[in-house]
Structure 1
């Protein structure tokens, strides 16, 4: 970045105080949570998207809705029974799970502990025809292994089915996707809670269980994308993004009502600062993020090449509260670190940087398209934080503190303002 832009990070910015004090921030957050979990295809995501478009319309510029395809699917039944039992254990199908036969699948369970590569290697041929049992991990850590990696290893080794357990006692079930593509290979897959995993782990050798997972495809499913454009003097665009969909165990407060509420507040604060001498601003609110990032992938795939070339920086907001420490996951773009550092000084909020790509939100699709992209995230490497409640029934408004939302607004506005002021060489440096 240019010395002038880096120096901007040392200048006072009283306007950020007003941005963080936005009177609509907390009501917007509460309203988003009131739409429920906003699972794509449930109707809650569509209602929330329509509401967000109404919130953006008074800011001027161009507001529009884009429809993109995604692999729709609905669970019909998920049940896990111990031998001779009539009361099933807690069980929830992973999105896009393959189905068992209607009468269920009977097999032994092989406990693979955390379910790392070495655990699968140690199991070897013993896993074939059995149900793999692994543990969910706190997702925001450099050491995290995603459930879909574990699912793929189980399938590759011939497992009959896949169970992933919440490792936290008394924390209930979790939600998540298997990532199985339409018509693709897959095995039945479900989340279970800590108590169910303990029961399964204690079964004697040779004891089988019955797992039933039934679901159906929804051909032609469409997800909405809210797009707001405000033109500056230059055509180069800074993109702020957040996903509006979630899971329906809780109300997806952390993941991601926080990001959407902060994105709307940032749009209100930045709109008056765009014009002569600035780059342009785009805001994208995606649905179907929880479906293997499908919404943003299809949106970017559908952009004309010349329009995609105007996208110079993506600031993706996903789970930006739940802890008082913020980190920018910078997708392998070393050139983003100076921008993050300068924005932290400008906002008066320290922001950590994690350089390697973590493909855990929509920034990954921007990065894959060659756009310098980061994810702003709370609670990185802090598994005891309230961020641990994502994907669970505990992901509710009470786990979010207002001061955390306000500091996320400050940081987002500072990063966006630096991007909006950057000239072509400075924007090019971000792509290093």
Structure 2
């Protein structure tokens, strides 16, 4: 790495506003799409981008909105009062009757496909209990996959427990579309999961699950786009989602990514010229709603415009551990690209090739655009990243050094791509 490149990347990573931007984003709350907190945070973030002397766009993107009016869970005890347990409805859960759904619980452990096959005939009509898994590991099975298995096997309800002792409630999406088939579904805390497991040791256990949801058919999420034109129409996209969950402050997921994206835009603004490709900053919302915001954004785009998007660097949960990994979405050529760009910054960034559809990069990859997700803590279930989706996702669990490392990494990767010859940039799309 040249002395000049080293000095530029060091200066970029020392952005004086990085931490304050991160804290400001957290200050808007969990930023669940539909609450208004995400729109307030986006307006603030786009105001920050206006400081670059360019005017960002605001686009309204429709998505399947929904809100929870009531969620409760009771462990029924014959001859005595029901034991109230803690629960939090999955986004877009199917509703129960107003009086609740009363059914036996069946414990499927992790709730993987083999667990459903093993207990297949016992599942229909039961409320299944499964466990949340650390989402960033090679063998992770996503919550929505477990939910779909429960629906496919005829379960009447779905409970997913926090697996960490002392762990509280978590939040996430069922992925159920409007008018799609589904079942009532909720997260429960570790103590409630343990209470159900203990009750089942003595024989059948029955619960009453009540979830009353309300559709929001005209819901829209606001996203922000800033283009920094270079000498080429070929464009590198840096993306991050600004929406989050109602629990905690969505600090890891994804105030970290938004703060780094804003700082990267400031650092890269002066590196873009008629001798480079162009840069686009995308701040998405409704990511936590089964990636709806970026999916709709790309689906509405013309093929001609999509063809100009040559690489997506998606920043999502880029702190919480001191290791960084690029999830490279099934594009083998991105492995060498990441290694070279990381070396230019004096960093090590791991790679994981198979597509993990757990953030907005997946929609770019689905559109044939080379895409990666930069992520902290891959394969490290004991890292602070485990607190995403929970009430513990607060600013205090993020270290400044980790944010600065992520900023240096994305600046190195973006700058490397901005200066690639057009044929080398196009070659990243090979599969």
- Bin the TM-score by the shorter chain: over 0.9
Are 1:46 and 2:39 matched, yes or no? yes
The equivalent residue for 2:216 is: 218
How far apart are residue 333 of structure 1 and its match? 0.4
How far apart are residue 86 of structure 1 and its match? 4.7
* Contact 1:9/1:342, CA 8 A, preserved across alignment: no
The equivalent residue for 2:366 is: 368
The equivalent residue for 2:119 is: 123
TM-score (norm: length of structure 1): 0.97
How far apart are residue 61 of structure 1 and its match? 3.3
Q: Give the Cα separation in 2 of the matches to 1:238 and 1:208.
A: 53
Q: Give the Cα separation in 2 of the matches to 1:338 and 1:42.
A: 41
* Contact 1:9/1:344, CA 8 A, preserved across alignment: no
| Post-superposition CA distance 1:85-116 (Å, at most 9, x none) | 35520111000000000000110000000111
Q: Which of 17, 20, 34 is 2:27 aligned to?
A: 34
TM-score (norm: length of structure 2): 0.97
Are 1:111 and 2:107 matched, yes or no? yes
Q: Which of 64, 71, 86 is 1:78 aligned to?
A: 71
How far apart are residue 9 of structure 1 and its match? 8.6
Q: Give the Cα separation in 2 of the matches to 1:206 and 1:402.
A: 49
* Contact 2:243/2:254, CA 8 A, preserved across alignment: yes
Q: Which of 315, 318, 337 is 1:317 aligned to?
A: 315
How far apart are residue 10 of structure 1 and its match? 9.9
Q: Which of 377, 402, 405 is 1:404 aligned to?
A: 402
Q: Give the Cα separation in 1 of the matches to 2:154 and 2:265.
A: 49
Q: Which of 265, 268, 283 is 2:266 aligned to?
A: 268
* Contact 2:222/2:284, CA 8 A, preserved across alignment: yes
* Contact 1:9/1:343, CA 8 A, preserved across alignment: no
1:201 is paired with a residue of what secondary structure? Answer: helix
CA-atom RMSD in angstroms: 1.2
Q: Give the Cα separation in 1 of the matches to 2:75 and 2:101.
A: 12
1:88 is paired with a residue of what secondary structure? Answer: strand
| Post-superposition CA distance 1:308-356 (Å, at most 9, x none) | 1110000000000000000000000011111111111111110001011
The equivalent residue for 1:229 is: 227
* Contact 1:39/1:245, CA 8 A, preserved across alignment: yes
Structure 1: give runs of 5+ residues left out of the alignment.
1-7
The equivalent residue for 1:185 is: 181
The equivalent residue for 2:248 is: 250
How far apart are residue 402 of structure 1 and its match? 0.2
**Length, aligned pairs only:** 425
The equivalent residue for 2:143 is: 147
Q: Give the Cα separation in 1 of the matches to 2:266 and 2:227.
A: 12
Structure 2: give runs of 5+ residues left out of the alignment.
none
Q: Give the Cα separation in 2 of the matches to 1:23 and 1:31.
A: 14
How far apart are residue 60 of structure 1 and its match? 2.6
